[in-house]
Amino acid sequence: MSAFPKVRLLPAMLIAGLLATGGPAFAERAVTDQLGREVHVPDTIHHAVILQHQTLNIAVQLGAMDEVVGILDEWKKQLGGNYVRLAPKLASLPMPGGLTKVNVEELLKLEPDVVFVTNYAPPEMIARIEGVGVPVVAISLLKVPPSEAGKLNPSVADEPAAYDAGFTDGIRLIADVLNRKPAGEALIAKATANRKLVSDRLAGLKDEDRVPVYMANPDLSTYGHGKYTGLMMRRAGARNVADAIPGFKQVSMEDVIGWNPAVIFVQERYPAVVGEIKADPAWATIDAVKRGRIELMPEYAKAWGYPMPEALALGELWMAKTLYPDRFADVDMQKEADGYYREFYGTPYVPPQP
């Protein structure tokens, strides 16, 4: 039995309709969010507030931005400064909260039918939103037992299975709530289409021959096991040198020096990290720095804690090609990325200019 109670709350607009007419303003339906809670949402969503960057990124690709009326205040930090070109509306949307906080007064001004939050949003934050009659749907893109569902760094026994099921469930949940079911199925299909190609090309790669890789984030934070980034590296033929640590954590310079990665990846949203590594003498003895193998990832290779459709569709392939160019010599990443962007973002893929 789920540790989370069933939630049956009416959105603010529906409450107003009930008070004015004495009867239901519109129909509702039940969905199960990724905390395992039953949540009742309107049949049709007109106003959605999204306080999680993963869900926001997915909503853009589902073509659902017409319904989005509010977003998280960290969106630019989490999605990267260049992301606004893919969804220009983001620049003008109100920001009534973030991943772990909400301003209920500002939220209510937007008359939301539903609010999406991250699975590790504080319970009191969720309770405050629900307390004013707005349904809350939590998204994790990870399938774990209820006891782990609300954690930032959940314990995952079988990472591939947990992320495969959680990704599919999460996309379908978001698409269902936002009335974009066909778009959700198309996104899932595209995201998994290249998996066999990568797996086949890396067949026979021995563990000892995997390239040792470190994912460099600001302030020496990185991803260990139990996060999608570690699985992304594994699927791309890398050996995550930080695999022994759980989740997303800060490590020490001594750790990185001891691990001595042959390649360092830096996410596109943190470009300053590349210059910081090159300028800091502490990094100079590391093989990746000596060999000039500090790789700034393209924006579609989202090495996040949770999987994104473009990371599965493109990012794993890009990483595998970067580490093993001979095995993927015939793969044109510009062509792959351009096709994806035209289909799901409605625009060509334009790589950043140096």
> DSSP of 4-62, one letter per residue?
S--B----HHHHHHHHHHSS-SS-EEEEE-TTS-EEEEESS-S-EEE--HHHHHHHHHT
E strand intervals along the chain: 28-32, 38-42, 48-50, 68-71, 114-118, 136-139, 211-216, 221-223, 238-240, 248-250, 263-266, 294-296
The pLDDT mean for the chain works out to: 92
CATH 3.40.50.1980 residue ranges of the chain are 12-192, 205-344
pLDDT band at 23 (very low <50, low <70, confident <90, very high): very low
**Amino acid 224: pLDDT:** 94
pLDDT band at 353 (very low <50, low <70, confident <90, very high): low
Residues 94-138: pLDDT tens digits?
A: 999 999 999 999 999 999 999 999 999 999 999 999 999 999 999
11 pLDDT exceeds 90?
Answer: no
Distance CA 266, CA 102 (A): 30
335 pLDDT exceeds 70?
Answer: yes
**Rounded to the nearest 10 degrees, how much is the dihedral formed by the CA atoms of 142, 146, 147, 151?**
40
Distance CA 251, CA 134 (A): 39
Residues 51-81: pLDDT tens digits?
A: 999 999 999 999 999 999 999 999 999 998 8
Distance CA 168, CA 172 (A): 6
Phi, then psi, of 222 in degrees rounded to 5: -155, 175
The CATH classification number of 12-192 equals: 3.40.50.1980
16 pLDDT exceeds 60?
Answer: no
pLDDT band at 3 (very low <50, low <70, confident <90, very high): very low
**Amino acid 26: pLDDT:** 56
Burial of 325 (0-12, 13-18, 19+ CB in 10 A): exposed
CATH pick for 205-344 out of 3.30.300.30, 3.40.50.9100, 3.20.20.70, 3.40.50.1980: 3.40.50.1980
The model scores a pTM over 0.85 = yes
User: Is-contact 146 2, C-beta < 8 A?
Assistant: yes
Q: Give the least confident one: 22-31, 256-265, 280-289, 323-332.
A: 22-31
